[in-house]
Amino acid sequence: MSRTIIVSNRLPTKVQRTAESLTFQPSEGGLATGLGSIYRQEGNVWVGWPGLFVEDEAEEQHIEQELSADSMAPVFLTEAEIRDFYEGFSNSTLWPTFHYFPQYATYEQAHWDAYVAVNEKFCRAVLELAGPEDTIWVHDYQLLLLPEMLRNARPECTIGFFLHIPFPSYELIRALPWRSELLRGMLGADLIGFHTFGYMRHFLSATSQLLGHSSQNGQIETPNRTVLVDAFPMGIDYGRFVAAAASEQAQQHEAEYREALRDTRIILSIDRLDYSKGIAERLRAFEVLIQRYPEWREQVSLIMVVVPSRDQVAQYAALKEEIDEIVGRINAQYRTISWTPIHYFYRSFPLEELASLYRLAEVALVTPMRDGMNLVAKEFVASKADGKGVLILSERAGAARELSDALIINPTDTAQLAEAMHDALVMPEEEQVHRMTAMQALVRQYDVFAWTKLFMDRLAYSKIKQLTLATE
Ligand code: G6P
């Protein structure tokens, strides 16, 4: 029987250490939901890091047992690997480069060495489980070398790779000392998927200019194999967000919040803490809004949720301080006894509370500097049962390629963003509903299950195509 193995840096369950014991928390993330029906099938498995440093073997065994009961196989990372592979090469070299922040990128040989070593570690973990005929689906920038490593060990395997972040212009890629190795690593796959055609074009350009490979119709010719490349815009579990927003709990929370906020109109912003998200620029734009349109003071508040992330990486710690400072300054300058301009939360929220925030908000601000896709934009759309509400979306989020009925803005243009907030607040209901229902139809149809199926079907097709070419 042929099996499917999913591989990503993080497992869809987060293991955490409390004072007395370990806790196992299933992830609410879109990927976990979308692939849930696959990796939980008989014989299939998800390979990844459980997200914490484990010192002793007994604890490793305990984690392994718990996770294997739910079709997961952990890859443990040492403290040095967490520092050099995860915080280092993945999040201080690749992440800033791929998000057009090359000034934040570091180029450390030791980080590269750890990246190679951890990709090899993942390779060994997969090989222990995979037979020669199995299908392996590798995810994201932490594992760019894995497809080639797997290909060398198991030439017959079907290997898919999907990149969840942007693939940048060749000009950014060429700055990386290890650029050719990284591209060759990805090319070990049979099928490489991106969120947009733009990212795919950048990849084709990079492989052509750096490796000299020609391509036609999304088919790259390497010296010994053909690799398919395509765009698969990722979706969300639409039904889950509709249900969460309609739940008794979400409605109750919403009523409580409305009362506490005395019916102030709400603009909402939800992100992981990251410089790619444009959080500081968004805050400045909100300030411009209340400066230019003083009539919104005491009428409109920004609820800003920032989810802690990668706090051991210097840029993230610095950004946290910058955000604290801007929020403090704006609130101190404009607040009144009965009105707080910005309600700022630095933590994550459970799904029902998020759903109640989506219900409450009239406007959602999704204004990253760069974002592979951005699923918050889609979650907001799914949560608006009555069709009312306005999405303000950065032209540099992958989601902007699909959600053209949002108010599309350039996130560095603070004045334009402030105007978009004003326009959203005065938009007639009829226009809101018109735009929102068009976006809902799209997000409903291309949900995460459709995304998974499209990718898996295309991967199976790519293998058949390889075999036909080989026998011709
Ligand atoms: C992005 C990446 C994922 C990553 C997630 C959370 O969405 O594409 O690969 O897992 O951020 O980041 P973390 O560093 O906490 O895994």
pLDDT along the chain (472 residues), means of 10: 92 91 85 85 93 92 96 97 98 98 98 98 97 94 98 96 98 98 98 98 98 96 95 96 97 97 96 97 98 98 96 96 98 97 96 96 98 97 98 98 98 98 98 98 97 96 78 70
Atom index in ligand 1 nearest the CA of residue 141 equals 9
Torsion sign across C-alpha atoms 163, 164, 166, 171 = negative
CA of 29 to the centre of ligand 1 (A): 10
Residue 353 CA neighbour count, 13 Å, CB half:
9
CA of 307 to the centre of ligand 1 (A): 12
Please tell me the pTM assigned to this model: 0.97
Ligand 1 atom 9 nearest Cα: 140
Pull the structure tokens for residue 52.
């914490």
Which runs of E-coded beta strand occur in 30-147? 45-49, 72-74, 135-139
Residue 166 and residue 397: Cα distance in Å, rounded?
9
- Bridge partners of 371, per DSSP, are 397
DSSP string, 83-102: IIIIIIIIIIIIHHHHTT-G
| Angular region, 22: left φ>0, alpha ψ -120 to 50, beta rest | beta
Ligand 1 atom 10 nearest Cα: 10
Number of other CB atoms surrounding residue 359 within 10 Å: 24
Q: Which residues fall within 8 angstroms of residue 50, CB to CB, at 6 or more apart?
A: 11, 13, 14, 15, 63, 67, 74, 76
Number of other CB atoms surrounding residue 456 within 10 Å: 18
Substitution site in 309, 312, 315 for ligand 1 pocket (most atoms within 8 Å of beta carbon):
309
Ligand 1 atom 15 nearest Cα: 309
Number of other CB atoms surrounding residue 336 within 10 Å: 9
Residue 181 and residue 248: Cα distance in Å, rounded?
52
Residues with a known catalytic role? 164, 371
- Is residue 225 within 8 Å of 466, Cβ to Cβ? yes
Amino acid 426 reads V
- Is residue 196 within 8 Å of 365, Cβ to Cβ? no
Residue 358 and residue 363: Cα distance in Å, rounded?
9
CA of 82 to the centre of ligand 1 (A): 14
pLDDT at res. 38: 87
CA of 39 to the centre of ligand 1 (A): 19
pLDDT at res. 114: 98
pLDDT at res. 26: 87
Atom index in ligand 1 nearest the CA of residue 372 equals 8
Ligand 1 atom 16 nearest Cα: 10
Which has the closest alpha carbon to 110: 93, 88, 94?
88
CA of 172 to the centre of ligand 1 (A): 21
Pull the structure tokens for residue 230.
């395509």
Ligand 1 atom 8 nearest Cα: 164
Q: Which residues contact ligand 1 via a Cβ below 6 A? A: 9-10, 140, 164-165, 309-310
